[in-house]
Amino acid sequence: MNEYYAKDWNDLQEKLFANSWNPRIGRYRSRYAFRGLSDADFKLETTLIRLVGDYQKLENHLLRNFSKYAHQNVVERDSIWHWLSVAQHHGLPTRLMDWTYSPYIAMHFATENIEKYDLDGVIWAVDYIEVNRFVPERLKIELEKEGANVFTSKMLIKHLNSLSDFSKVSDEDFVLFIEPPSIDDRFINQFAFFSISSNPQLAMDEWLKKHPEIWMRIIIPKEMKWEIRDKLDQANITERVLFPGLDGLSQWLKRQYKPKKD
């Protein structure tokens, strides 16, 4: 079964950290990418897909104009992969999707919106190492050569210079995970990385249905959300840390002092 309902706080911890022991290195190292959503019915759709209409035709126009008008003092500014990360970070609709290595940060995003505490939340967990089995062979070779489990922009630019190249590199739709450049404390504090599909029209949950062995969905019952939220706040997993600056501080304080609804 790919869907699991958490019974309580301890049960949720057990499920999130299950199978994280790596006997080869004698350490606990999870193979999962985590994504927390406040509504269990939300699909794994990118911000580009949510534009609706002929959004796939707008992708290159959005990125071209973003890079044209953005501040030019950006490292690796000629790399499409770098620009994608920067654009996603600043809210431009892209085919990237945010994930985190941290189950606690995924819990935060599943419980941050107290207006949705009448709905079950969810944490998606995807085995990002197994995802690599489905990438084109030349990209697998690049991963093996680097001894890596996740791509970087420097690794991809060796083989793919544009989104058009990326979409055409295989006849089969595939997904890969990419680590962003550390351009902002948000990326670092959120332990963040991205997924990206070779097909801009493909929602990731639709692709995952074809590969049920590499993912699970952990449902957070709405009755558990306040407990999780309060414990995360005490553990300092808050907007104040994850979104450094006055905006994050304001978001945290607004939620911290809002009266609990009955």
- Residue whose entry in the numeric block shows the structure tokens 């809210």: 91
6-10, 19-23, 248-252: which is most confident: 6-10
Residue 225's pLDDT is: 97
Residue 85: predicted pLDDT: 86
Three-state secondary structure call for residue 80: helix
Contact yes or no for 227/9 (Cβ under 8 A): yes
Q: φ and ψ at 65, to 5 degrees?
A: -75, -30
Tokens of 12: 């949720």
Q: Answer for the pair 91, 21: CB distance below 8 angstroms, yes or no.
A: no
CA–CA gap between residue 62 and residue 251 (Å, rounded): 29
User: Model confidence over 228-247: pLDDT tens digits?
Assistant: 999 999 999 999 999 988 98
Burial 110-125 (b: 16+ CB within 10 A, else e): bbbebebbebbbbbbb
pTM over 0.85: yes
> What residue ranges do the domains of the chain occupy?
3-256
Closest by alpha carbon to 177, among 120, 137, 215, 129? 129
Give the model confidence (pLDDT) of 45-95 as tens digits: 999 999 877 877 888 888 888 888 876 655 555 688 888 888 888 889 999
C-alpha to C-alpha distance for 89 and 30, rounded to whole angstroms: 25
pLDDT, tens digit, for every residue of 148-187?
Answer: 999 998 899 889 988 889 999 999 999 999 998 777 788 8
Structure-derived torsion over alpha carbons of residues 61, 66, 67, 68, reported in degrees to the nearest 10: 80
Residues 86 and 67: their CA atoms lie apart, in Å, by 9
Query: Using 50, 70 and 90 to split pLDDT, how confident is the model at 109?
Result: very high
